[in-house]
Chains A and B, each alone.
Chain A
Amino acid sequence: MVMRIQGLKYDENNWIHRQVRLAAITVVAIAAFVAAWHVASVLADTPTVPSPGRTLDALINFYSYGDWSSGTQRTMFELIGSSMITFAKGFALALVVAVPLGLALGYFKIAREFTNPIIEVLRPIAPIAWAPIFIIILGSATGAMLVVFIGIFFPLLTNVIFGVRKIEANLLDASKTLGASQFQVFYKVIMPYTAPYLMNGVKVGLGVGWMCIVAAEMCAGTLVGVGKYLYDMAYSGNWPKAYAALVLIGVLGLLTIGVSDYVHRWVSRRMGMDA
């Protein structure tokens, strides 16, 4: 494809050219979306569909004055921080449980066969479906955290199991002929081999987990966070602020996935895969 930027011919093999091209396309796409949204809000002409401009105002307002809805003032960053902490706890718990379990289930066939039916029944349940149960039994904070845990746990578990099972027999053979004990084979060969698969699980899990935290907060009575804020604003008919929260959630999710995607690629490269 030939594109001219300031008299320059587009060169697919030039990194800067590729980045500029992608950035230009991205800006145009976002502008087109915002324009379409604006037109839709004008045509709809109802308070439930605020224009992008009013949404941006609400976002700036939220940023400047925080959230007053609960009676006490909370800054935007306190709400984000609160969501992030619940999110991080669920993530940490999922990591601590899913990684050893995945390694064990990948390694021991009988354990995998034994747990497989249970996992396959639990896995398709939407994580948010657990919210009412967890939140009612364990309270808002722990309940929401566990919803995030569920969301991250399964992608992590299945990816780790997959990684362990994919290991090439030859690598195991090679390490054995080099004198590695069973335990050394496990932690010097199987575990590093699995690392990129684990990171893929993390990447998928963080995306799912972020969806979970926002949804779980809505079911949680006493929790504060951006998801809860979105719910409160929509409930009280403050549509621009509800939409602003939606935009914020999207951007934060994008950042989360962006970071984990970067880490995933870094680990894969580091581990000599996918280079």
Chain B
Amino acid sequence: MTEDQTAIDVSEKAFAETVDSGSPGDGAHIAIRGLRKVFKRDKKETVALDDFSLDIRRGELVTLVGPSGCGKTTILKLIAGLIEPTSGEVLIGGRPCLRPGPDRGMVFQDFALFHWRSVRKNVEFGLEVAGVPRGDRRAEAERYIKLVGLEKFIDSRVYELSGGMKQRVGIARSLVTHPDVLLMDEPFGSLDAQTRNIMQVQLLKVLDETDQTIVFVTHSVDEAVFLSDRIIVLTKRPARIKEVIEVPWPKPRDRAAPEFTALRKRILSELEAENVMEG
């Protein structure tokens, strides 16, 4: 654990037990070690991440919250193996992660759907490239399309969908292959409040059946408190860990509960302090 990583028990009264925030080397599912990422183009350098370390347990749902542009997507892409770190490393189950693989699914902030494919064919993609037979593929895809509430649009083309629907296709597409690690980049960002709440509950249901590890990025503190086992509050770019908050309450949670609103408030003020709006 790095110095700036402070586990805080927010529920002194209700949950007195101390929570294991994951110490290095003890079999963390995802171990991020001293990660640094510098984007370099000619003379322009952007330090997106600097000495970022974090351990994530198997089956844990960890949420990253932080100011826009602080490096959240960069962290997910590094875990996915889509970009290479400038230094440091990401270990998945103890093994260095060097390239993308079907064990780590990702939901993209801007959907990244295959616009020439129907909803069904988008969701089937991961199964198709894995060589799953057509019949099984269809059945599995249909299951997840239903789960995200798009069964009426199963044969629609992507351009016929609204932003929120596209986002749900992206979610179904990543869930269908049952990746060990699911990297979700603001997956509910384009949804209206009601659909968003429904999707959060659906996600928890799916995770109940599996022991998938989720790294979740969101701008909604409410969402973070509702879903997370642990919330990582990040600083401005380059992202450093400002605070780690364990949320050991059982799920699904009551958004109206006093400890829920209290925690939400606290994180919001943390973020506001961090934002100090750069102009």
Q: Which of A113-121, A223-231, A254-262, A266-274 contacts B (4 or more CB under 8 A)?
A: A266-274
Known: A184-B129, A195-B116, A270-B116. A173 touches B106 (CB 8 A): yes
Q: Which of B102, B105, B116 contacts A272 (CB 8 A)?
A: B116
What is the CA–CA distance of A275 and B115 in the complex, to the nearest angstrom? 11
- Residue A70 at the B interface, CB < 8 A? no
Within 8 A of A (CB), among B93-128: 99-102, 104-106, 108, 110, 112-117, 125-126, 128
Pairwise interchain contact A179-B114, C-beta atoms closer than 8 A: no
Known: A189-B114, A272-B115, A275-B159. A177 touches B129 (CB 8 A): no
Q: Which residues of A contact B108 (CB under 8 A)?
A: 170, 173-174
- Residue B157 at the A interface, CB < 8 A? yes
What is the CA–CA distance of A193 and B159 in the complex, to the nearest angstrom? 14
- Residue A36 at the B interface, CB < 8 A? no
Q: Which residues of A contact B115 (CB under 8 A)?
A: 271-273
- Residue B276 at the A interface, CB < 8 A? no
Q: Which residues of B contact A177 (CB under 8 A)?
A: 80, 82, 100-102, 104-106, 174, 183
- Residue A176 at the B interface, CB < 8 A? yes
How many A-B pairs have beta carbons closer than 8 Å: the answer is 76
Pairwise interchain contact A193-B116, C-beta atoms closer than 8 A: yes
- Residue A75 at the B interface, CB < 8 A? no
Within 8 A of A (CB), among B10-44: none
Q: Which residues of B contact A171 (CB under 8 A)?
A: 112, 114
15 examples of A-B residue contacts, CB within 8 angstroms = A170-B108, A173-B112, A175-B114, A175-B125, A176-B99, A177-B104, A178-B125, A178-B126, A179-B130, A180-B129, A188-B129, A192-B116, A195-B116, A271-B116, A273-B116
- The interface on chain B, measured as residues whose beta carbon lies within 8 A of the other chain's beta carbons, has a size of 31
Pairwise interchain contact B159-A272, C-beta atoms closer than 8 A: yes
- Chain A: minimal CB distance from B266 (Å): 34
Q: Bin the interface of chain A by size.
A: 20 to 34
Within 8 A of A (CB), among B173-197: 173-174, 177, 183
Pairwise interchain contact A272-B157, C-beta atoms closer than 8 A: yes
- Residue B158 at the A interface, CB < 8 A? yes
Name the residue on B nearest A271 (C-beta).
B116
- Chain A: minimal CB distance from B162 (Å): 14
With most chain B CB atoms within 10 A of its CB, the pick from A171, A173, A174, A271 is A174
Known: A170-B110, A173-B82, A173-B108. A179 touches B129 (CB 8 A): yes
Pairwise interchain contact A272-B129, C-beta atoms closer than 8 A: no
Name the residue on B nearest A274 (C-beta).
B159
Name the residue on A nearest B109 (C-beta).
A170
Pairwise interchain contact B112-A168, C-beta atoms closer than 8 A: yes
Q: Which of B80, B129, B174 contacts A181 (CB 8 A)?
A: B129
Pairwise interchain contact A272-B158, C-beta atoms closer than 8 A: yes
The 8 closest A-B pairs by CB, nearest first: A179-B102, A272-B115, A271-B116, A178-B126, A170-B112, A174-B112, A176-B100, A177-B106
- Chain A: minimal CB distance from B39 (Å): 13
Name the residue on A nearest B116 (C-beta).
A271
Pairwise interchain contact A179-B82, C-beta atoms closer than 8 A: no
Within 8 A of A (CB), among B76-93: 77, 80, 82
- Chain B: minimal CB distance from A99 (Å): 17
- Chain B: minimal CB distance from A133 (Å): 41
Q: Which residues of A contact B104 (CB under 8 A)?
A: 177
Q: Which residues of A contact B101 (CB under 8 A)?
A: 177, 179
- Chain A: minimal CB distance from B141 (Å): 12
What is the CA–CA distance of A275 and B157 in the complex, to the nearest angstrom? 10
Q: Which residues of A contact B112 (CB under 8 A)?
A: 168, 170-171, 173-174
What is the CA–CA distance of A39 and B255 in the complex, to the nearest angstrom? 84
Q: Which residues of B contact A176 (CB under 8 A)?
A: 82, 99-100
Q: Which residues of B contact A168 (CB under 8 A)?
A: 112
What is the CA–CA distance of A181 and B128 in the complex, to the nearest angstrom? 12
Pairwise interchain contact B129-A173, C-beta atoms closer than 8 A: no
Name the residue on B nearest A170 (C-beta).
B112
Known: A179-B129, A193-B116. A174 touches B157 (CB 8 A): no
Q: Which of B99, B106, B130, B159 contacts A174 (CB 8 A)?
A: B106
What is the CA–CA distance of A181 and B101 in the complex, to the nearest angstrom? 9
Known: A174-B114, A176-B99; 4 extra A-B contacts, CB below 8 A, are A170-B112, A175-B125, A177-B106, A195-B116
What is the CA–CA distance of A273 and B159 in the complex, to the nearest angstrom? 8
Name the residue on B nearest A181 (C-beta).
B129
Name the residue on A nearest B130 (C-beta).
A179
Q: Which residues of A contact B183 (CB under 8 A)?
A: 177
